[in-house]
């Protein structure tokens, strides 16, 4: 790979590594017993597609220190995508989301494997939970067997524990905040720990730690990564309600149906008067969220210009991230790639 950032070529390399690694693991799982074949299929489905942003940030965390392209580093970076796959399976299970990337989520797809069994839906959900657990285990395995020297891996190992702790903390906070009064500060804390850190900051820090990054560069990675990770999730919140499901691959109703504590909802609530809050309470209180409910919520949000407020928050965070990047002394190739990644992470349609 040359120093010119080619996201398509990079994604192809990561995809090849992930698909090969997970296919081998899925085959070994299915070889234990034919009954496990549907579970093995969901392992492969979990890594079938994706933007591979987390792998990219890990890769450029390494390159920003001055290290060259490396197949071993690419495998280590690809392990970030298995962390993401595990988090997605668990998140979809917790939120009872029916589709992801235009396909049934694991807890929905696995209903076929237990059709006609007692408590079939609960059994399918249990299988999906175990798929997520295995993906997280495979992430650690791919990282540890990447081929990088043991001393390099040891430098990054503490960050893995931190990443897992913060990711689980964010997921727990979202569950605990769901149904509580909308609060923008609390919502931003949820996205910071649930998504922002493991999407940008931690992959960068892990790549940097593998390469032996110094304290100033690590601080710069955090100053760039945290606001950019928040911008990424704020964009996701907007796409969740206003995006085209044909492009996002997800259902528009998920955030409303799940009463998720998004910053978009919190800002809408903050800007709303008593009349609009009453309308929102009625819409959010429905057990099912059809198009009428979504249209009501969207109409209130648009009239109050809450989406514009979230766009402003995204813009501020992207500029904060780029300002931090421009203060770092990194190779031009790394600065260019991280600039491009910032734009693509925050300005996207899916």
pLDDT one-digit tens code per residue, 272-284: 999 999 998 888 7
Do 256 and 267 contact (CB within 8 A), yes or no?
no
Q: Which CATH number fits domain 7-346: 3.40.50.10490, 3.40.50.300, 1.10.600.10, 3.40.50.2000?
A: 1.10.600.10
Q: With CA atoms as reference, report the closest residue to 305 among 259, 238, 350.
A: 238
Confidence of residue 134 (pLDDT cuts 50, 70, 90): very high
How far is 198 from 162, CA to CA, in rounded Å?
A: 10
Domain residue limits, the chain: 7-346
Query: pLDDT per residue over 23-54, tens digit each?
Result: 999 999 999 999 999 999 999 999 999 999 99
How far is 54 from 104, CA to CA, in rounded Å?
A: 23
Confidence of residue 252 (pLDDT cuts 50, 70, 90): low
How far is 85 from 279, CA to CA, in rounded Å?
A: 36
From the number of C-beta atoms within 10 Å of its C-beta (0-12, 13-18, 19+), residue 149 rates as exposed
Tokens (6 digits) for 16: 């090849």
The arithmetic mean of pLDDT across residues 194-198, rounded, is 96
Whether residue 256 is predicted with pLDDT greater than 80 in this model: the reply is no
Distances (CA, A) of 88 to 84, 91, 109, 332: 6, 5, 15, 33
The arithmetic mean of pLDDT across residues 100-121, rounded, is 94
């Amino acid at each position: 790979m040359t120093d010119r950032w080619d996201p398509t070529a990079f994604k192809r390399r990561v995809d090849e590594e992930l698909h090969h690694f997970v296919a081998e693991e899925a085959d070994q799982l299915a070889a234990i017993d034919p009954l496990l074949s549907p579970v093995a299929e969901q392992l492969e489905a979990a890594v079938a597609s994706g933007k591979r942003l987390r792998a990219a940030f890990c890769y450029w965390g390494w390159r920003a220190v001055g290290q060259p392209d490396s197949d071993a580093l690419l495998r280590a970076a690809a392990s970030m995508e298995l962390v993401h796959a595990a988090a997605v399976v668990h998140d979809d299970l917790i939120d009872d989301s029916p589709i992801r990337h235009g396909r049934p989520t694991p807890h929905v797809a696995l209903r076929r494997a237990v059709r006609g069994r007692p408590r079939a839906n609960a059994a399918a959900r249990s299988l999906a939970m175990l798929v997520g657990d295995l993906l997280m285990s495979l992430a650690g395995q791919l990282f540890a067997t990447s081929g990088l020297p043991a001393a390099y891996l040891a430098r990054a190992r503490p960050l893995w524990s931190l990443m897992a702790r913060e990711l689980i903390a964010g997921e727990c906070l979202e569950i605990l905040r769901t149904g509580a009064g909308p609060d923008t500060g609390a919502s931003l804390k949820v996205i910071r720990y649930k998504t922002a850190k493991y999407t940008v900051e931690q992959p960068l820090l892990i790549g940097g730690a593998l390469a032996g990054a110094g304290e100033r560069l690590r601080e710069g990675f955090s100053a760039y990564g945290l606001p950019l990770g928040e911008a990424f999730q704020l964009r996701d919140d907007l796409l969740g309600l206003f995006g085209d499901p044909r492009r996002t691959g997800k259902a528009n109703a998920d955030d409303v149906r799940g009463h998720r504590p998004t910053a978009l909802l919190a800002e809408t609530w903050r800007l709303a008067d008593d009349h609009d809050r009453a309308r929102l309470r009625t819409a959010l209180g429905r057990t099912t969220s059809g198009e009428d409910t979504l249209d009501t919520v969207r109409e209130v949000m648009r009239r109050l210009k809450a989406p514009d407020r979230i766009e402003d928050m995204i813009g501020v965070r992207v500029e904060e991230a780029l300002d931090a990047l421009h203060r770092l002394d990194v190779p031009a190739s790394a600065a260019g790639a991280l600039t491009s990644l910032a734009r693509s992470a925050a300005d996207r349609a899916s």
